[in-house]
């Protein structure tokens, strides 16, 4: 029989937005630490973080139809602490509350206490790691059931969070955008690490004793998902941003880097990172095949 | 000793007639598109001497039930006598259990959005009540239901005699045994 993925694009959006929100808050803390004068960029991070996570949660609740019809059942989410999803709910709840408090303080022109920033940052990281563990504990799917996935999702989350803040910065705070060089340099390395992690994930999955591992990898690199993988994820989401940022940060002169054209080029690479981040979640959610369909014990 | 319900399915007897699936739908009042039993078919040989093995699959009532360990609401949980339950009133329909179950035997009710699966309703027939279960509906008697912890039950004896094993070895410690 053919296999229909259990989770669809809504879950991919949710995983993407949860990671993006966590990453955006990490970015705002990073900027506050390294470039405290960049108030506008910090605020951009503060706004993006709770907003995208709340959108993601709304998507998730609408997708969980039985709960949507009986909202009180969502309270039961806190009953099984052996479930990764229950932990995710805790991390997300704390994250949303903390980031909203920080955002309100920001709008009231008050400095949020350092410890609150740290709590938010840790929760942001937990949320990003949780999106990987959520899939990782499903032992029937070799593409998910490995310890690399949470790491990959974390790196991608921080990368997309930074890209979102920088992209918005190009338009709302072009001067500050030129200042945050250390953020850009840090951000440059994330897609590089991601390439290594994705390669490792695919090699390890393909080597899974079950045929399903090999088949999942083939669907991604030369099957139904090949175009999305090579064009949208690898090229647009990783290689082009690496090349453009490398050129901007180390080759182009200061003039070029800080010109409007230079900013637009950086903005384009950030947009690519965001598209790639979503496509990564979509690929991982949709292309995973379960060991039971190929059934080594039946065939 | 406690009761620990299990089942044996003899695929050498199964003719792939789908009687068990339809009987189950009637017994449990399922929607037309909702079935707790699904089938895999294995073809062997080359034309003209081909043989097809039909393997009915349903909830294995795993002792290490992955559905129950991932379910955030406790809707999927281990019930009494080793029967894994799917509490329709607690389920939010997140489908996490469907991703975690290695056998793809959980189904989403398209009306309520809650997830359901084989309830081992054959337990109701233990006291002699006749009903429309897969065990009774099977025209070739390919199915035996009973107590795994009772060495004298028809089930336990058949498992030993016919050398039956869970479909995926030790994975999840399943309680449905297959003769193949
Ligand atoms: S077979 Fe699937 S649904 Fe049944 S107990 Fe095992 S994991 Fe749960
Ligand atoms: S769909 Fe229902 S039974 Fe399955 S994990 Fe979610 S709440 Fe539990």
pLDDT by residue (tens digit) across B26-75? 999 999 999 999 998 888 888 889 888 899 999 999 999 999 999 999 99
Average pLDDT, chain B: 92
Phi, psi dihedral angles at A272 (to 5 degrees): -60, -40
For A119-150, write each residue's pLDDT tens digit. 999 999 999 999 999 999 998 899 999 999 99
pTM of the model as a whole:
0.93
Q: Is the minimum CB–CB distance between A130 and chain B shorter than 8 Å?
A: no
Given a cut of 70, whether residue A1 has pLDDT beyond it is no
- Alpha-carbon distance of B136 to B139, in angstroms, equals 8
Domain contains A1: no
Residues with CB under 6 A from ligand 1: B 59-62, 65-67, 84, 101, 103, 105-106, 117, 172
| Contact of A185 with A127, CB cutoff 8 Å | no
Task: Report residue A181 as tokens.
Answer: 């060089």
Task: Flag if B71 and A141 touch (Cβ within 8 Å).
Answer: no
For A203-234, write each residue's pLDDT tens digit. 999 999 888 899 999 999 999 999 999 999 99
pLDDT band at B2 (very low <50, low <70, confident <90, very high): confident
Report the range of poorest mean pLDDT among A70-84, A190-204, B9-23.
A70-84
Domain contains A4: no
Q: What is the CATH classification number for the domain harbouring B20?
A: 3.30.70.20
Q: What is the CATH classification number for the domain harbouring A75?
A: 1.20.1630.10
Domain limits for position B37: 5-179
Closest of B61, B85, B96 to residue A137, by C-alpha: B96
Task: Flag if A139 and B90 touch (Cβ within 8 Å).
Answer: no
Question: What pLDDT sits at residue A283?
Answer: 96
Average pLDDT, chain A: 93
- Alpha-carbon distance of A276 to A212, in angstroms, equals 24
Question: What pLDDT sits at residue A299?
Answer: 47
- Rounded to an integer, the average pLDDT of B100-118 is 94
Question: What pLDDT sits at residue B51?
Answer: 86
Given a cut of 60, whether residue A297 has pLDDT beyond it is no
pLDDT band at B100 (very low <50, low <70, confident <90, very high): very high
Q: How many C-beta atoms surround the C-beta of residue A75 within 10 A? A: 11
Atom of ligand 1 nearest to the CA of B76: 8
Q: How many C-beta atoms surround the C-beta of residue A84 within 10 A? A: 22
Question: What pLDDT sits at residue A295?
Answer: 54
- Rounded to an integer, the average pLDDT of A164-171 is 96
- Among the partner-chain residues A89, A135, A139, the one whose CB lies closest to the CB of B72 is A89
Q: Which of B65, B78, B91, B117 to mutate to test the pocket of ligand 2 (most atoms within 8 A of CB)?
A: B91
Interhelix angle A260-287/A181-206, rounded to 10 degrees, is: 20
Task: Tell me the Cα Rg of chain A.
Answer: 20
For A12-50, write each residue's pLDDT tens digit. 999 999 999 999 999 999 999 999 999 999 999 999 999
Question: What pLDDT sits at residue B47?
Answer: 87
- Alpha-carbon distance of B24 to B9, in angstroms, equals 15
Count structural domains, chain B.
Answer: 1
Domain contains A3: no
* Burial grade of A129 (CB within 10 A; 0-12, 13-18, 19 or more): buried
Query: What distance in angstroms lies between residue A224's CA and the mean position of ligand 1's atoms?
Result: 29
Q: Is B95 in the pocket of ligand 2 (CB under 6 A)?
A: yes
What residue's CA is closest to ligand 2, atom 5? B71
- Rounded to an integer, the average pLDDT of A261-286 is 96
What single string gives the DSSP state of each residue in B153-170? Answer: SHHHHHHHHTT-EETTTT
For residue A52, CA distances in Å to A17, A45, A253 come to 6, 11, 35
- Alpha-carbon distance of B125 to B123, in angstroms, equals 5
pLDDT band at B99 (very low <50, low <70, confident <90, very high): very high
Query: What distance in angstroms lies between residue B66's CA and the mean position of ligand 2's atoms?
Result: 11
* Burial grade of B32 (CB within 10 A; 0-12, 13-18, 19 or more): exposed
Contacts of A70 in chain B (CB under 8 A): 92
Closest of B66, B58, B116 to residue B91, by C-alpha: B116
- Alpha-carbon distance of B34 to B64, in angstroms, equals 25
Terminal CA-CA length for chain A: 13
Q: Is B92 in the pocket of ligand 2 (CB under 6 A)?
A: yes
Question: What pLDDT sits at residue A2?
Answer: 64
Report the range of poorest mean pLDDT among A42-56, A145-159, B20-34, B119-133.
B119-133
Query: What distance in angstroms lies between residue B167's CA and the mean position of ligand 1's atoms?
Result: 13
Task: Report residue B63 as tokens.
Answer: 């002792």
Question: What pLDDT sits at residue A118?
Answer: 96
Residues 6+ apart with CB under 8 A from A234: A195, A198, A276
Question: What pLDDT sits at residue B43?
Answer: 83
Task: Report residue A1 as tokens.
Answer: 């029989």
Residues 6+ apart with CB under 8 A from B49: none
Question: What pLDDT sits at residue A256?
Answer: 87
Q: What is the ipTM of this complex?
A: 0.89
Share of chain A above pLDDT 90, in %: 82
| Contact of B83 with B118, CB cutoff 8 Å | no
Residues 6+ apart with CB under 8 A from B55: A298, B9, B11, B14, B39, B40, B41, B42, B167, B178, B180
Domain limits for position A222: 9-294
Count structural domains, chain A.
Answer: 1
| Contact of A45 with A27, CB cutoff 8 Å | yes
Domain contains A2: no
Given a cut of 80, whether residue A3 has pLDDT beyond it is no
């Amino acid at each position: 029989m053919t296999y229909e993925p259990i989770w669809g694009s809504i879950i991919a959006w949710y995983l993407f937005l949860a990671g993006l929100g966590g990453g955006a808050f990490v970015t705002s803390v990073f900027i506050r630490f390294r470039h405290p004068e960049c108030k506008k960029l910090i605020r951009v991070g503060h706004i993006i973080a709770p907003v995208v996570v709340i959108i993601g949660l709304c998507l998730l609740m609408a997708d969980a139809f039985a709960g949507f019809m009986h909202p009180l059942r969502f309270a039961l989410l806190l009953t099984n602490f052996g479930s990764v999803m229950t932990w995710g709910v805790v991390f997300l709840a704390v994250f949303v509350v903390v980031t909203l408090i920080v955002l309100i303080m920001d709008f009231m022109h008050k400095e949020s206490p350092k410890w609150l920033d740290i709590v938010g940052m840790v929760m942001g990281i937990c949320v990003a790691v949780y999106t990987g563990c959520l899939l990782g504990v499903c032992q029937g799917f070799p593409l998910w059931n490995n310890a690399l996935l949470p790491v990959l999702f974390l790196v991608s989350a921080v990368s997309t969070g930074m890209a979102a803040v920088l992209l918005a910065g190009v338009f709302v705070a072009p001067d500050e955008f030129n200042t945050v060089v250390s953020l850009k340099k840090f951000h440059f390395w994330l897609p590089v690490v991601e390439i290594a992690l994705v390669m490792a994930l695919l090699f390890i999955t393909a080597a899974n004793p079950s045929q399903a591992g090999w088949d999942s990898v083939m669907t991604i690199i030369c099957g139904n998902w090949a175009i999305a993988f090579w064009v949208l994820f690898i090229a647009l989401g990783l290689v082009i941003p690496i090349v453009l940022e490398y050129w901007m940060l180390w080759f182009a002169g200061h003039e070029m880097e800080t010109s409007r054209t230079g900013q637009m080029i950086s903005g384009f690479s950030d947009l690519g990172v965001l598209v790639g981040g979503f496509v990564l979640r979509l690929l991982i959610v949709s292309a995973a095949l379960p060991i039971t369909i190929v059934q080594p014990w039946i065939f | 000793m406690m009761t620990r319900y299990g089942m044996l399915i003899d695929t050498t007897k199964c003719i792939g007639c789908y009687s068990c699936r339809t009987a189950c739908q009637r017994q449990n009042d399922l929607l037309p598109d909702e079935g707790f039993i699904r089938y895999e078919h294995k073809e062997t040989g080359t034309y003209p001497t081909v043989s097809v093995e039909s393997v009915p699959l349903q909830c294995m009532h795993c002792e290490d039930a992955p559905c129950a360990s991932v379910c955030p609401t406790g809707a999927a949980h281990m019930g009494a006598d080793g029967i894994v339950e799917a509490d329709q009133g607690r389920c939010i329909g997140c489908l996490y259990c469907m991703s975690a179950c290695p056998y793809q035997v959980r189904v989403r009710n398209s009306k309520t959005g809650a997830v359901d699966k084989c309830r081992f309703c054959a337990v109701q027939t233990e006291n002699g009540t006749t009903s429309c279960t897969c065990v009774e509906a099977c025209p070739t008697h390919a199915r035996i239901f009973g107590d795994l912890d009772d060495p004298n039950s028809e089930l336990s004896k058949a498992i030993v005699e016919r050398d039956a094993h869970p479909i995926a070895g030790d994975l999840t410690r399943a309680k449905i045994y297959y003769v193949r």
